[in-house]
Amino acid sequence: MTRSRLYHLSPKVVRDTIQKAVDQADELHRLEKELVELLWEVDQHRYYVRVGYNSLRGFCVGALLFSDTQAQRIVTSVRRYEPTPNFGQKSDTLKCEAVKSEDGSVDKENRP
């Protein structure tokens, strides 16, 4: 019985290929999230009507060239999307810090 070709590849090649796939998937998820956010705004204001489409799904198929299945999945994601309230740039810099006493335990009385 011979081993599969997989075992003849260098571990570095396998590791690099897997890492590249993970990086590409991360990028795809990030771009999909941005697309859903943009399409949510398009749907809220019905911008697709101004460019000649009757529905968001029609816009996704006609203008964005998604298949019917892809368009339906995206429209479902857009309808489920709930934007988070924007409290300004300050919220990005806020950090919750617990005050530790000298022995390393968390001091609950001084916690914010």
Does 61 map to a domain?
Answer: yes
User: 83: closest CA among 26, 24, 39?
Assistant: 39
Does 104 map to a domain?
Answer: no
Does 106 map to a domain?
Answer: no
For 23-57, how does the pLDDT look when each residue is reduced to its tens digit (9 = 90+)?
999 999 999 999 999 999 999 999 999 999 999 99
The pLDDT-based confidence of 3 (bands split at 50, 70, 90) is: low
Q: What is the 3-state secondary structure (H, E, C) of 45-99?
A: HCHHHHCCCCCHHHHHHHCCCCCHHHHHHHHHHHHHCCCCCCCCCHHHHCCCCCC
User: 96: closest CA among 79, 112, 78?
Assistant: 112
Does 40 map to a domain?
Answer: yes
Question: Among positive and negative, which fits the CA dihedral 69, 72, 76, 81?
Answer: positive
Does 92 map to a domain?
Answer: no
Q: In the chain, how many domains are there?
A: 1
Residue 37 lies in domain: 5-81
Does 72 map to a domain?
Answer: yes
Does 101 map to a domain?
Answer: no
The pLDDT-based confidence of 83 (bands split at 50, 70, 90) is: confident
pTM for the model stands at 0.67
Amino acid at 72: Q
Spell out the residues 6+ positions from residue 111 whose beta carbon is closer than 8 angstroms to its own: 98, 99
